[in-house]
Amino acid sequence: MGAHTQAPTRETTLTLLLRRGETSAAELASLLGISVQAMRRHLRSLEEEGLVESSPMPAGPGRPSNRWRLTDQGHQHFPDGSEDFALGLLQSMTATLPPEAMTSLLAQQALEKAEAYRRHIGTAPLEQRVSVLAELRRREGYVTDLQPDPDGKSWCLSEFHCSVQRIAAEYPVVCDQELELMRQTFPDCQVDRVHWRLKEGHSCGFRITPDHD
126-173 tens-digit pLDDT: 999 999 999 988 887 777 889 999 889 999 998 876 556 666 666 667
Report the pLDDT value the prediction gives residue 102, as an integer from 0 to 100: 73
Q: Per-residue confidence at 6, pLDDT binned at 50, 70, 90?
A: very low
Task: Using a pLDDT cut of 70, give the percent of the chain over it.
Answer: 73
Report the pLDDT value the prediction gives residue 192, as an integer from 0 to 100: 92
Using CA atoms, how far apart are residues 191 and 177, in angstroms rounded to an integer? 13
Report the pLDDT value the prediction gives residue 158, as an integer from 0 to 100: 87
Mean pLDDT of 13-24: 81
Question: Which candidate, 49, 50, 59, places its Cα nearest to that of 23?
Answer: 59
Contacts of 106 (CB under 8 A, 6+ apart): 173, 174, 177
Report the pLDDT value the prediction gives residue 81, as an integer from 0 to 100: 52
Q: In Å, what is the CA distance from 203 to each residue of 18, 112, 164, 187, 208?
A: 9, 25, 13, 24, 16
Q: Where are the domains of the chain?
A: 3-76, 83-210
SS3 labels along 59-79:
CCCCCCEEEEEECHHHHHCCC
Mean pLDDT of 7-16: 74
Which of the listed ranges 6-20, 51-65, 177-191 does the model predict with the highest average pLDDT? 177-191
Q: Please calculate the CA angle 12-14-15 and round it to the nearest 5 degrees.
A: 65
Q: Given a cut of 80, is residue 175 above it in pLDDT? A: no
Q: Given a cut of 80, is residue 207 above it in pLDDT? A: yes
64-94 pLDDT per residue, tens: 678 888 887 787 776 555 455 556 666 666 7
Report the pLDDT value the prediction gives residue 2, as an integer from 0 to 100: 39
| Higher-pLDDT residue of 22, 57 | 22
Cβ burial of 189 (10 Å; 0-12, 13-18, 19+) is buried
What is the dotted CATH code of the domain comprising 83-210? 3.30.1380
Q: Per-residue confidence at 208, pLDDT binned at 50, 70, 90?
A: very high
28-46 pLDDT per residue, tens: 888 888 888 888 998 998 9
Fold (CATH) for 3-76 = Arc Repressor Mutant, subunit A (1.10.10)
